[in-house]
C-alpha cells in the first residue's frame, strides 16, 4: 500500500471518530501546525485532529495504538523547544477546542479546567472572587494550561509562588494504552507515588492531559516595584544574590541588559534609564505593611550593592509601565533583527556575573549579538541570539553558539532548560547533562506509560545512539565539555 492510500485510510477512519471538519489533511490546512513557537523547526504532519470531547481523544488514541501511528499533542503551540513539532507520518492532536473552565471552587480555592484553556483566562475568571492562578509565563495570553503542565511552565513570579508543579492539584490523563488515570486529588496530597510531579514537565511523552485542577491564590493586598539601574551587568547580577541573601523574597526579580532595556523602551516607552548597563525590576507583594517594610529593606540592599539609580513606582500606572517594558521585551528585541533565538539555561545565582561575561565573549567570537532579559531571581537566563535566517549558515552558527551557552550553564552547576523544555531543540544537550544510565532510566519510565513509544516519540529524551553521534561530532570539533562523562 502506498503512503497516499495509507493516508486516505487514516483520514477515513478518523472521520468516523470526529466530524469531517475536525480532521485536517489538506496542505493549506496543515501549514499552521507545522511548528510551535520555535519556527526554526518545521514539519507538516500527516493529519491534524481537533477533538472536542474526552471520548474523541480516547478513540483517536486507541485508533493510533492499533495502527501504530505516532501522536503529538499540541496546546496553543507557543512552546519554544519544538515539543509540539509534528511528525511527518504522525497525527497532531490539538487540544485547543477543549477550552472550558469547568468549575471555580471558591471555598477550596481551586479551578477545574480543560487543557485548552488559556493561562490568563483562569486568572480572569477567578478575578471577581479575589483569586488568581499564580504561574504567569510571558506567553500567558496565548499558551494553554495543558501545555503549561507539559512544560512545567514558570513566569516572572515563580521565585515566590513556584512553577506549574507547585500550583496544580489534580490531572486527568489518558495514556496511549487507553488507561484513564486520575493523578493527584482535591486534597493537598495523595497516596502512592507523586505522579503529579512526574507528569508535570514530561513534555507530552507520558499521556494526554484532559483536565487540570489548579490552585488559586488570594490576590495580594499590595504590590509595588523598584527599578534599580547599574553601570555594570556583573554588579546587577551580584545585587540579585545580595537581595536574596538578606532575607527578601521578591515576587519577581528580573534583569535586562542595555540592549534589552533600550529595545523595550523604544517599543513601549517604559521610561527606563537608557544609559544604564543593566536594570533590575524588583517586585514586592503581600500585605500593605509588609510591602512598605520590604520596599525599604530592598532599596537599602540595592543601594549598598552599587545601584546608580533607584526608582520606586509612585502609583499603579507607573508600576504597570515598568512591567510593560519587561513584558514586551521579546517582541521588542524581535524588532532589532530579522530573527532571534531564545535560550533557557538556568544557573546558580552566584554564577550570573561569570556566565554573562562568558556569553558576551562567545557573542564576540561568533559575531552574533546577544541580548539578555531574564528571570534573575531564579537564575533562569534567556540570552536572545540575534541572527538572520536568510543569511546562509547563520542559523547553524546560531544553534552552535546556543549549544555552547547551554554547556556553559551545565558547567556552572546549572541546567540546559529552566522552563522551556528540551523538546527537539535541546535534545543533543541532554547528552551533556545526563549520562547513559540516567537516560536509560528515563526511557524505562517512558515505557511504563507508553511501551510502544507512540506519544511524542523522539522528543525530550535522546536515544543513546543519538548521543553517541553527538559526542562524536563534538570530539571532532575538539571541544568536548565533559570528557569524564561516559559516552556512546
Ligand X SMILES: Cc1cc2nc3c(=O)[nH]c(=O)nc-3n(C[C@H](O)[C@H](O)[C@H](O)COP(=O)(O)OP(=O)(O)OC[C@H]3O[C@@H](n4cnc5c(N)ncnc54)[C@H](O)[C@@H]3O)c2cc1C
Site residues for other proteins, 244-283, by CB under 8 A, read 244-245, 247-249
Residue with cell 492531559: 209
Partner from other proteins, ligand X, none binding residue 139, C-beta < 5-8 Å depending on class: ligand X
Contact 358/313 with Cβ under 8 angstroms? Answer: no
Partner from other proteins, ligand X, none binding residue 434, C-beta < 5-8 Å depending on class: other proteins
Task: Name which of 150 and 432 has its Cβ closer to ligand X.
Answer: 150
Q: Which three cell numbers stand for residue 331?
A: 517582541
Tell me, residue by residue from 203 to 222, as one string, x for binding to other proteins by CB under 8 A and - for no binding. ---x-----------xxxx-
Report in angstroms how near the CB of residue 21 gets to ligand X at its nearest. 21
Partner from ligand X, other proteins, none binding residue 455, C-beta < 5-8 Å depending on class: none
Report in angstroms how near the CB of residue 292 gets to ligand X at its nearest. 29
Instruction: Name the DSSP class of 422.
Output: -
Partner from ligand X, other proteins, none binding residue 391, C-beta < 5-8 Å depending on class: none
Tell me: does residue 144 bind ligand X (CB under 6 A): yes
The rounded distance, in Å, linking the Cα atoms of 93 and 222 is 42
Report in angstroms how near the CB of residue 343 gets to ligand X at its nearest. 12
Helix axes 54-66, 3-17, angle to 10 degrees: 150
Query: First vs last Cα of the chain: how many Å apart?
Result: 37
Footprint (CB under 6 A) of ligand X, residues 58-77: 72-77
Which helix (H) or strand (E) covers residue 454, if one does? none
Tell me: does residue 150 bind ligand X (CB under 6 A): yes
Partner from ligand X, other proteins, none binding residue 159, C-beta < 5-8 Å depending on class: other proteins
Which DSSP string corresponds to 136-156?
Answer: --TTTTT-BHHHHHHHT---T
Tell me: does residue 204 bind ligand X (CB under 6 A): yes
Which DSSP string corresponds to 288-308?
Answer: HHHHHHHHHHHHHHHHHTT-S
Partner from ligand X, other proteins, none binding residue 378, C-beta < 5-8 Å depending on class: other proteins
Tell me: does residue 107 bind other proteins (CB under 8 A): yes
Partner from ligand X, other proteins, none binding residue 200, C-beta < 5-8 Å depending on class: other proteins
How many residues does the structure list for the chain?
488
Q: Taking the CB of residue 153, how many other CB atoms lie within 10 A of it?
A: 29
The rounded distance, in Å, linking the Cα atoms of 284 and 279 is 16
Task: Name which of 294 and 446 has its Cβ closer to ligand X.
Answer: 446
**Residue 284 φ/ψ, nearest 5 degrees:** -115, 130
Tell me, residue by residue from 43 to 82, as one string, x for binding to other proteins by CB under 8 A and - for no binding. ----------------------------------------
Q: How far is CA 212 from the centre of its chain?
A: 18
Helices (H), 367-426: 394-411
Q: Taking the CB of residue 268, how many other CB atoms lie within 10 A of it?
A: 18
Contact 237/353 with Cβ under 8 angstroms? Answer: yes
Task: Name which of 99 and 241 has its Cβ closer to other proteins.
Answer: 241
Considering only 78, 99, 398, 428, the residue that binds ligand X (CB under 6 A) is: 78
Enumerate binding residues for ligand X (CB under 6 A). 36-37, 72-80, 83-84, 95, 115, 137-139, 143-144, 146-148, 150-151, 153-155, 203-204, 208-209, 330, 419-420, 456
Amino acid at each position: 500500500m502506498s503512503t497516499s492510500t495509507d493516508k486516505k485510510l487514516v483520514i477515513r477512519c478518523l472521520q468516523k471518530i470526529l466530524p469531517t471538519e475536525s480532521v485536517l489533511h489538506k496542505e493549506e490546512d496543515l501549514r499552521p501546525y507545522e511548528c510551535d513557537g520555535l519556527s526554526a523547526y518545521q514539519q507538516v504532519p500527516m493529519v491534524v485532529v481537533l477533538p472536542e470531547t474526552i471520548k474523541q481523544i480516547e478513540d483517536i488514541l486507541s485508533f493510533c495504538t492499533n495502527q501504530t501511528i505516532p501522536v503529538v499533542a499540541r496546546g496553543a503551540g507557543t512552546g519554544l523547544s519544538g515539543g509540539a513539532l509534528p511528525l511527518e507520518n504522525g497525527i497532531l492532536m490539538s487540544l485547543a477546542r477543549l477550552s472550558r473552565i469547568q468549575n471555580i471552587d471558591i471555598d477550596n480555592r481551586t479551578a477545574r479546567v480543560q487543557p485548552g484553556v488559556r493561562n490568563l483566562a483562569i486568572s480572569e475568571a477567578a478575578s471577581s472572587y479575589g483569586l488568581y492562578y499564580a504561574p504567569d509565563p510571558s506567553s500567558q495570553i496565548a499558551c494553554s494550561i495543558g501545555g503549561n503542565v507539559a512544560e512545567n511552565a514558570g513566569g516572572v513570579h515563580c521565585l515566590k509562588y513556584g512553577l506549574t508543579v507547585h500550583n496544580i492539584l489534580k490531572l486527568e490523563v489518558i495514556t496511549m494504552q487507553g488507561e484513564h488515570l486520575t493523578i493527584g486529588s482535591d486534597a493537598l496530597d495523595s497516596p502512592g507515588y507523586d505522579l503529579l510531579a512526574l507528569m508535570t514537565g514530561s513534555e507530552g511523552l507520558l499521556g494526554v492531559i484532559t483536565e487540570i485542577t489548579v490552585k488559586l491564590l488570594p490576590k495580594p493586598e499590595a504590590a509595588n516595584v523598584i527599578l534599580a539601574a547599574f553601570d555594570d551587568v556583573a554588579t546587577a547580577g551580584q545585587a540579585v544574590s545580595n537581595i536574596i541573601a538578606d532575607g527578601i523574597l521578591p515576587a519577581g526579580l528580573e534583569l535586562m541588559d542595555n540592549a534589552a532595556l533600550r529595545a523595550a523602551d523604544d517599543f513601549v516607552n517604559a521610561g527606563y534609564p537608557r544609559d544604564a548597563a543593566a536594570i533590575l525590576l524588583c517586585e514586592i507583594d503581600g500585605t500593605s505593611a509588609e510591602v512598605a517594610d520590604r520596599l525599604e529593606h530592598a532599596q537599602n540592599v540595592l543601594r549598598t550593592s552599587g545601584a546608580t539609580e533607584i526608582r520606586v513606582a509612585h502609583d499603579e500606572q507607573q508600576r504597570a509601565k515598568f512591567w510593560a517594558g519587561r513584558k514586551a521585551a521579546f517582541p521588542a528585541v524581535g524588532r532589532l533583527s530579522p530573527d532571534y533565538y531564545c535560550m533557557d539555561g538556568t544557573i546558580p545565582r552566584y554564577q550570573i556575573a561569570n556566565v554573562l561575561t562568558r556569553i558576551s565573549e562567545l557573542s564576540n567570537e561568533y559575531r552574533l549579538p546577544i541580548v539578555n532579559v531574564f528571570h534573575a531571581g531564579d537564575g533562569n537566563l534567556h540570552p536572545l541570539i540575534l541572527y538572520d535566517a536568510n543569511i546562509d549558515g547563520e542559523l547553524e552558527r546560531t544553534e552552535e553558539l546556543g549549544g555552547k551557552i547551554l554547556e556553559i550553564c551545565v558547567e556552572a552547576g546549572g541546567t540546559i532548560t529552566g522552563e522551556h523544555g528540551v523538546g527537539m531543540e535541546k535534545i543533543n544537550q541532554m547528552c551533556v547533562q545526563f549520562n547513559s544510565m540516567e537516560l536509560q532510566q528515563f526511557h524505562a519510565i517512558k515505557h511504563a506509560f507508553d511501551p510502544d513509544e507512540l506519544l511524542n516519540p523522539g522528543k525530550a529524551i535522546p536515544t543513546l545512539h543519538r548521543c553517541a553521534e553527538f559526542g562524536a561530532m563534538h570530539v571532532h570539533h575538539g571541544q568536548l565539555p565533559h570528557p569524564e562523562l561516559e559516552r556512546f
